[in-house]
Chains A and B, each alone.
Chain A
Amino acid sequence: MLVRAQLLDEQALAEIYDRWSPALYRYALRLLGAKDLAEECVAETFSRFLVSLHQDRGPREFLQAYLFRISHNWMTDYYRSHRSALLPLDPAVRAACEDEPMQLSDLEAERGQVRAALSRLTPDQRQVVLLRFEEEWNSEMIAAALNKSEGAVKALQHRALESLRRMLLPSGMEES
């Protein structure tokens, strides 16, 4: 598929988009919190992917990791240029939740806590946590996506979970 993509074969590119854009969108939406920003991130990711193909700098393997790396870089840049980049949850995101109103408020509160805690991690830690626990990637894939060694990824995950434990599980709760 990658060979055909390097030749800018329409069918191969369409397959790639259909296969990976949903996961990229979910990933971006969790991190950015706004649908239109997530769409922008996906669009920019695929646009940069095309540029790299055109310049023959495209991925030779691990296409999925490659796409997430582009997305990662885009979001890192975004965080740098927008200090308070972790936006409150888009109203449309809330409206789409299927839970009952009472339930919704609890869930929202919990999600808000998690989001706030994630926002206090470093960009790398945040992305490791999301890829590991939300996308259920293994360390090897995350390492490829973030262009880091597996050891570095494990260290990032360890530190991220430590921080999240401190923020989300006060000492009393940990014992329960």
Chain B
Amino acid sequence: MTRKNISPDEKLQLLLARFRDVPARDPAAEAAGRRDFLKQAAGWRASASRTAQPSGAGAADRRVSFFQGRGFLLFPAGLAAVALALLMFFGGSAVTVFAAQNSLPGDVLYGIKTFSEDAAFFLPVSPQTKVDLTLRFTDRRIYEITGLQYAGRPIPEFAIERYQDELDLVLALAAGMDDPGMAISLEQASSHADGQLRQIVQLLDTGPDVSVLVLLQNRLREHVQKIELGKTAPQEFRLKIREEQEEKAGIDSNGSENVSQTPDTAPTIGRPSKTPDPGGDDTDADKPTKDRGKAAEFKGTIAAVDAGNLTLTLEDGSNRIFVLTSETKIRIPGFGHDATFADLKVGDGATVRAKKDESGVLVAESIDVEPVQPVLVRYAGTVTDYQAGAGIAIREKNGTLRTFLITSDTKIIFDPKDKSKNLRVGSEVTIAAVRDASGGTPTASEIAVKAPKAGKPATYKGKIAAVDAGSLTLALKDGSSLAFVLTGETKINIAGLGRGATVADLKAGDDATVRATTDESGALVADKIDVKPVQPVLDRYSGTVTDYQAGAGITIREKNGALRTFRITSETKITFAPKDQEQILEVGSEVTITAARDASGGTPIANEIAVKRKKKATPTHPEASLLPDVQICAGPPGWNGREVEKISWSIL
């Protein structure tokens, strides 16, 4: 590149410009990245739609889709290390253990895999960790079953029984915890079971013999039912699990079939054989045999309700389920005696008077509801984004941005003076929303739109996104956009063009500051537009043309030997030196090319190609100085006058 008298800063920038060129991104990698990103979003969207999911990063981790752990990774590294140490102590090798992790039931290495899993229970870890681990193992079992099914191999009974043992173990561990711990474990178990059920349903289409899969499906459904029981009636759940364990222990002690004692499954080392009684949660009403027929009162918050049941969360955090009958009296302030179960709302406080029937079920005699007034908070500001039926964002006066969800229940109220009745970006609104204690995006219950104030100009900064004779759209920094009406009164000032600029001089991509006034219809009418055109950074390159395709492209070699290629468009100006009568651009011409810097790293477009005048060869004829001064006035098309010298020589 040849540049005269360039400053150190320019030289530095030129050097940095060398760094600008990056090769094009691999389209396949880009597409894969995009796909993964959208897939991840879809997973989160699905999980967000589920209710009763705890929030936070930990919960998010638990929500990863089924099989995201991909086989071997399901086995935690720390525990794998312990299992590895144990197995090596007994004579295995590291390679064997790791190779075994992907084996399937019936494979030679499968016994090592299950042993290494059981060995993990030697660890002095918390019951919660054991639940987590066991749930991962249940995922593994389904992973194995999937592998067997796709391979057309039979699913051995011991694989199913091991899976069942692990499901039972999760519930037993959960039942041994206090209420909060159990709630977390059951939530995890529920999430895993959902994924596993979905996987089994998919497998049902994979082969003619799906009887084993149907069996698995049924067992999983029973498992899910138990989880639901645990969520709604912890004490009942504990009793049930304890009974099941005692029953199982009885069978085992009699020496009859113990399904876990298969050649491929190690004894359940360290696994709890009996569910500890956490205690402290018993109430009179929970002792059906003792106090049957005696009514008790329960005070709490309605957690769920339908035509047949009501679930109440008590002050200690535990849940009680009550059966609703036609005899159940429902009293809600303001409803008189007409209230029905349909008027009961989740979140309302309630006192339930109930007694147990002969089967131990709590039957509600009466329900007194204390409706909880939702804490409404109001926020006033200017709308920066609005998606009808989905969401709205406003900027408060102090600059805070707030986002709200919009549902079918959201009321939009317009000021009676507002004839336009148009809620849009720029509208002044006051939003009433129920405070969301969980920290999630609150839902707008009411959006009061103020009448646009005419005559108060405001200034907006952004980039011109679109422009035509009557309107201009400005893309603001926050990603939103605003549309302005252009009138004959709109003053346009473009740096470099002065105030004489017109709408035709406005270009998309330029930075602009628009001062606008809201008219009575609510439209933003632009009073003044100040534009700072995005000045392309121009570079100049001088050299000799090595290739030239008119209207397409040109390549030059700079003095330092560098080759540079530029695109030629209809906008490219080709200029010649004033005294250059030939005015030819061809291979060999000396040129200076001005081109806009292309940030994308692509071939730059030549803005201007300045062709230098060709140096004439010095005549060598001794009488050269006597040559007549021939002036070419006209010639045939394409004739460049070059032959004149020859003619002159021949004359001489």
Most chain A CB atoms below 10 A, which of B19, B25, B55, B403: B19
Residue in A8, A114, A174 whose CB lies within 8 Å of B44: A8
B601 touches A26 (CB 8 A): yes
CA distance A18 to B37 in the complex (A): 11
Q: How large is the interface on A (under 10, 10 to 19, 20 to 34, 35 or more residues)?
A: 35 or more
Residues of B within 8 A of A97 (CB): 21, 23
A30 to B601, CA, bound (A): 12
Task: State the main secondary structure of chain A at its contact with B.
Answer: helix
A3-B22 in contact given A46-B37, A47-B37 (Cβ < 8 Å): no
Q: Does B638 contact A (CB under 8 A)?
A: no
Task: Give bound CA distance, A84 to B599, whole Å.
Answer: 28
* Closest-CB distance, A2 to chain B (whole angstroms): 5
With A and B bound together, what is the CA distance between A130 and B391 in angstroms? 36
Asked whether A50 lies within 8 Å of B16 as measured between CB atoms, the reply is no
Chain A min CB distance to B172 (Å): 33
Choice from B48, B537, B599 contacting A135 with Cβ under 8 Å: B599
Q: Which residues of B contact A63 (CB under 8 A)?
A: 479
CB distance from A108 to the nearest CB of B (A): 10
Instruction: Please judge, given known A-B contacts A35-B26, A107-B18, A165-B12, whether A14 and B403 are in contact too, CB under 8 Å.
Output: no
Asked if A80 is an interface residue, CB under 8 A from chain B, the answer is no
Q: How far is the CB of B375 from chain A (nearest CB, A)?
A: 18
Give per-residue flags for B479-497: 1 if the beta carbon is below 8 A from chain A beta carbons, else 0.
1100000000000000000
User: What CA separation (Å) do A25 and B601 show in the bound complex?
Assistant: 13
Interface of chain B: mostly helix, strand, loop or mixed? mixed
Contact A61 B477 (CB under 8 A): yes
Which of B9, B56, B478, B565 counts the most A-chain CB atoms under 10 A from its CB? B478
With A3-B403, A50-B44, A62-B477 as contacts: A43 and B12 at CB distance below 8 Å = no
Q: Which residues of A contact B387 (CB under 8 A)?
A: 3-4, 7
| A-contacting 9-mer, from B28-36, B310-318, B604-612 | B28-36
A77 within 8 A of B: no
Query: Is there an interface contact between B37 and A50, defined as CB atoms closer than 8 Å?
Result: yes
Residue A156 is within 8 A (CB to CB) of chain B in the complex: no
Given A2-B479, A169-B11 in contact, is the A30-B441 Cβ separation under 8 Å?
no
A43/B37 in contact, CB under 8 A: yes
- Contact between B478 and A110 (Cβ–Cβ < 8 Å)? no
Residues of chain A with a CB closer than 8 A to B405's CB: 7
B13 touches A133 (CB 8 A): yes
A55–B601 CA distance with the chains assembled, in angstroms: 36
> A47 to chain B: which residues have CB within 8 Å?
37, 40
8 A Cβ contacts from B382-402 to A: 385-387, 390-393, 401
Task: Determine the distance from Cα of A107 to Cα of B511 in the docked complex, in whole angstroms.
Answer: 34
CB A128 to nearest CB in B, in angstroms, measures 12
A21 to B25, CA, bound (A): 10
B22: chain A residues at CB < 8 Å are: 26, 29-30, 93
A17 and B479 within 8 A (CB): no
Q: Which residues on the B side are within 8 Å of A106 (C-beta)?
A: 560-562
Chain A, 19-61, contact with B by CB distance < 8 Å: what is the 0/1 string?
0011001100110000100010011001100110011100011
**Residues of chain A lying within 8 A (CB to CB) of residue B18:** 107, 110-111, 114
CB distance from A135 to the nearest CB of B (A): 7
Contact between chains at B42 and A2 (CB < 8 Å): no
Q: Is the CB of A169 within 8 A of B479?
A: no
Select which of B57, B440, B537 is within 8 A of A56 by beta carbon: B440
Indicate the member of B25, B37, B56 with the most A CB atoms within 10 Å: B37
Chain B residues within 8 Å of A111, by CB? 18-19
B38 touches which of A14, A29, A55 (Cβ 8 Å): A14
Find chain A residues with CB under 8 A from B56 CB: 55
Q: Find chain B residues with CB under 8 A from A10 CB.
A: 38, 41-42, 45
Q: How far is the CA of A96 from the CA of B26 in the complex (A)?
A: 11
Cβ B385 vs Cβ A2 within 8 A: yes
A136 to B599, CA, bound (A): 8
User: What is the interface of chain A, defined by CB distance below 8 A to chain B?
Assistant: 1-4, 6-10, 13-14, 17-18, 21-22, 25-26, 29-30, 35, 39, 42-43, 46-47, 50-51, 54-56, 60-63, 92-93, 95-100, 102-103, 106-107, 110-111, 113-115, 118, 129, 133-136, 161, 164-165, 168-169, 173-174
Could you list 22 examples of A-B contacts with CB < 8 Å? Answer: A2-B393, A2-B480, A3-B387, A3-B390, A6-B403, A7-B390, A7-B391, A14-B38, A17-B37, A21-B33, A26-B25, A30-B19, A62-B478, A98-B565, A103-B563, A106-B560, A106-B561, A106-B562, A107-B18, A133-B17, A168-B15, A169-B8
Q: Which 10 A-B pairs have the closest CB atoms?
A: A96-B23, A61-B478, A60-B401, A3-B391, A8-B45, A174-B8, A3-B385, A46-B37, A133-B16, A114-B19
